[in-house]
Amino acid sequence: MSMHLTVVQQDERQSHARRTSSPLHLIPPPTGSGSITVCSSPVRKPKLLDQVRTAIRLRHYSLRTEDTYVHWIKRFILFHGKRHPREMGETEIGQFLSALYAVPCVRHVSIGGWL
């Protein structure tokens, strides 16, 4: 009995699918073939948010925590015109936090407000 296995790299548009166990998909073998074929695109470094998701999953954080981290990272990146965080530093972090403080719905009531 012969076996055929074809593996291809996952389409990037589907990369945001939740909790996939592997970035590779199996394609059913054509009939009458006895070979094993592995096809994938050139190996690329994972994108930033994929790296964040992987790091969070390795630490066994909850799915909700993962979603929250990714959400705030996206907001930070979009706030600075889609610049990569690698290009930014303490100044940009301060600008982002100051902008958050300026939005009334994000501001928290101080302890003095509860007394």
One-letter amino acid identity for 3? M
Would you tell me how many other CB atoms lie within 10 Å of the CB of residue 89? 9
Q: Which residue did the predictor score with more confidence, 16 or 72?
A: 72
* Three-state secondary structure of the chain: CCCCEEEEECCHHHCCCCCCCCCEEEECCCCCCCCEEECCCCCCCCCHHHHHHHHHHHCCCCHHHHHHHHHHHHHHHHHCCCCCHHHCCHHHHHHHHHHHHHCCCCCCCCHHHHC
For range 38-55, the mean pLDDT: 85
Whole-model pTM: value is 0.54
* pLDDT, averaged across the chain: 74
For range 98-109, the mean pLDDT: 72
In the chain, which residues fall in CATH 1.10.150.130?
48-114
Check whether 42 has a pLDDT greater than 90.
no
Which structure tokens are listed for 73? Answer: 């990272």
Q: Residue 88: its pLDDT value, please?
A: 95
Question: 55-96, pLDDT tens digit by residue?
Answer: 999 999 999 999 999 999 999 999 999 999 999 999 999 999
Check whether 109 has a pLDDT greater than 50.
yes
Q: Residue 76: its pLDDT value, please?
A: 95
Q: Residue 87: its pLDDT value, please?
A: 95
pLDDT class of 101 with cuts at 50, 70, 90? confident
Find out if CATH 2.60.40.10 is the number for domain 48-114: no
